[in-house]
Amino acid sequence: MKQVEGSIVVVPQKLLIGVSFSGTFPALVAEMPKVWEMFLQRQPEIAQVIDPHVRYDISSENQKYQFFTEYIAVEVEAFAQIPAGMVGLTLPEKTYARFRHEGPMEQVQQTYLGAFQWVKDNGHLVDEQALRMERYDDRFVPSVHASERKENAYEIYLPLSS
C-alpha cells in the first residue's frame, strides 16, 4: 500500500455542468476515456465556467448492486443554460479528506488504498452516502495526457461523515 498524506478541507457548495455515465465498474473502465474525450470536445458549449482548466469527476456508488455513476464536469457561476445532453449538478458543502495522486494512473488504486487507510488511522469515517470527487487541472487531463506519464497529478477528495 502506498503511503499518502491527507488533509481535512471543507469544500463549499459547487454548481457543476457536465456529462454523466452509469454502469458497472468494468463498463466504467471501458467507457470513461470516451466520456472524457466527448466532454472535452463539448466543454466550450458550457457558459459561465469559473475555470476552464479545472475539471471534476464526481462519483457515486450503489454498493449493494455495484453500480456506479460518474459525472465529468466544470464548475459554473450559475445554471444559466445547460447544453443538450448535459446535466447540472449541485454539490453541497461538505468536509473531505484531500489527497494527491502523483504518477502513472496504473498506481491510482494504491493511492486510494493509502487514502482510505489514512482516513481510518486519523479517526475519521468515509461518508459512503456522499459523492466522491476528483479534481483535475492541467497537470493531468484524462484522454489527453498518456496515463503512464510520471508527471500526472490530481486531487482525490473522500467525503467524511460528520
Beta bridge partners, 59, equal 70, 132
Coil, strand or helix at 15: strand
How far, in Å, CA of 14 to CA of 45, rounded?
19
Computed on alpha carbons and rounded to an integer, the radius of gyration of the chain in Å comes to 15
Tell me how many helices (H) and strands (E) the chain has. Answer: 2, 8
Pairing outcome for strands 94-102 and 132-136: unpaired
Say if residue 124 is exposed, middle or buried (CB neighbours under 10 Å; 0-12, 13-18, 19+): middle
Question: Cell digits for 77?
Answer: 457561476
Q: Can you give the pLDDT at residue 65?
A: 67
> Going from the N-terminus, what domains does the chain have, and what CATH number goes with each?
7-159 (3.20.80.10)
Question: Cell digits for 147?
Answer: 496515463
* Host H or E run for residue 102: strand 94-102
Beta bridge partners, 29, equal none
How far, in Å, CA of 19 to CA of 78, rounded?
16
pTM of the complete model: 0.91
How far, in Å, CA of 61 to CA of 129, rounded?
8
Q: Can you give the pLDDT at residue 81?
A: 92
Can you give the pLDDT of all 162 residues of the chain as single tens digits? Answer: 567 899 999 999 999 999 999 998 888 888 888 999 999 999 999 999 999 999 999 998 766 667 889 999 999 999 989 999 999 999 999 999 999 988 887 888 898 899 999 999 999 999 988 999 999 998 887 777 777 878 888 999 999 997
CA quadruple 156, 109, 86, 44: dihedral, nearest 10: 70
